[in-house]
Amino acid sequence: MDEELDRYPLTGRFLMGRLRDALSEDEKQTVESLIEKVEQYDRDTTILARGQLSDRSTMLIDGFVLRTIRDGDKRFVVGVQVPGDFVDLHAFALKRLDHDVVTLGPARVGYVSHDRLRALMEENAHLTRLLWFSTLLDAAIHREWIMKLEQLRASKRVAHVFCEIRQRLDFVGLGGGRAIDTPLIQQDLADMCGTTAIHMNRALGQLRKEGLADFRRGTIRVADRRKLESYATFDPTYLYGEGILGMKGELSLS
């Protein structure tokens, strides 16, 4: 994995993901060359506002990004992105998004112009399909969030969020060990799980009391991963990394 990052410093995490076996070396070089500009953000920054006309899409190189929607004074977090995610590739087709795209804490992103994506679509149908896959994967995650928001109480919802983040970081070589450092705060978790900060504090307290997970200053500590997954009824199949939805070569050229 380190070799992949050495060869492709801007898109290495993306290339480590579920599409790694479907990409040829030439296609990996092409993906790396798509990045035209790199920006470092040191604090929470709205990089694409709801309704803003977009002429570029964003690859998350390092850090975390949230998708958020505001209704009056209330904020809803409707998605979280991890390194290697092509955050707003769907802005190429939609041009204006129905939500804000916000960096969370320090983050480094790479920008790809829609002109370059348009040229890619005309030149490489296979790579275009693989980029389309990454956008459809976001939709699969959104569907799972909707279902779990309805099914689970707050402590199990946030446990599910922890499990998902850990699994997605695993895919890109960042999920090792029992602790994961994030820039998340309790309010972010509350806005993800459709509850208040007070109820989230109680939910996290329950997870801590039962020895399932400990969340302090953004660090998620899990002593027994499988026990937490069982508690959260977390099945990673919807992430298309394993199980009946896992990639088994269907997207490769051969």
Question: Over the stretch 76-91, which tens digit does the pLDDT of each residue have?
Answer: 999 999 999 999 999 9
Q: Are 60 and 10 in contact (CB under 8 A)?
A: no
pLDDT in tens, 167-213: 999 999 998 788 999 999 999 999 999 999 999 999 999 999 999 99
Q: Are 60 and 107 in contact (CB under 8 A)?
A: yes
**What's the confidence (pLDDT) of residue 1?**
57
pTM across the whole model: 0.94
pLDDT in tens, 229-238: 999 999 999 9
| Mean pLDDT of the 45-60 span | 97
**What's the confidence (pLDDT) of residue 253?**
67
**What's the confidence (pLDDT) of residue 252?**
72
Smallest CA-to-CA distance from 210 within 202, 199, 198, 218 is with: 202
- Rounded-to-integer distance, Cα 95 and Cα 101, Å: 13
* Nearest-10 Cα torsion for 236, 238, 241, 244: 100
Higher pLDDT, 242 or 131: 131
| Mean pLDDT of the 36-42 span | 98
What domains sit in the chain, N to C, each tagged with a CATH number? 1-137 (2.60.120.10)
**What's the confidence (pLDDT) of residue 165?**
97
Residue 99 is encoded by which pair of tokens? 């939500």
- Rounded-to-integer distance, Cα 195 and Cα 181, Å: 23
- What rounded mean pLDDT belongs to the chain? 93
As a three-state string, the secondary structure of the chain is CHHHHHHCCCCHHHHHCCCCCCCCHHHHHHHHHHCCEEEEECCCEEEECCCCCCCEEEEEEEEEEEEEEEECCEEEEEEEECCCCECCCCHHHHCCCCCEEEEEEEEEEEEEEHHHHHHHHHHCHHHHHHHHHHHHHHHHHHHHHHHHHHHCCHHHHHHHHHHHHHHHHHHCCCCCCCEEECCCCHHHHHHHHCCCHHHHHHHHHHHHHCCCCEEECCEEECCCHHHHHHHCCCCHHHHCCCHHHCCCCCCCCC
| Mean pLDDT of the 113-130 span | 94
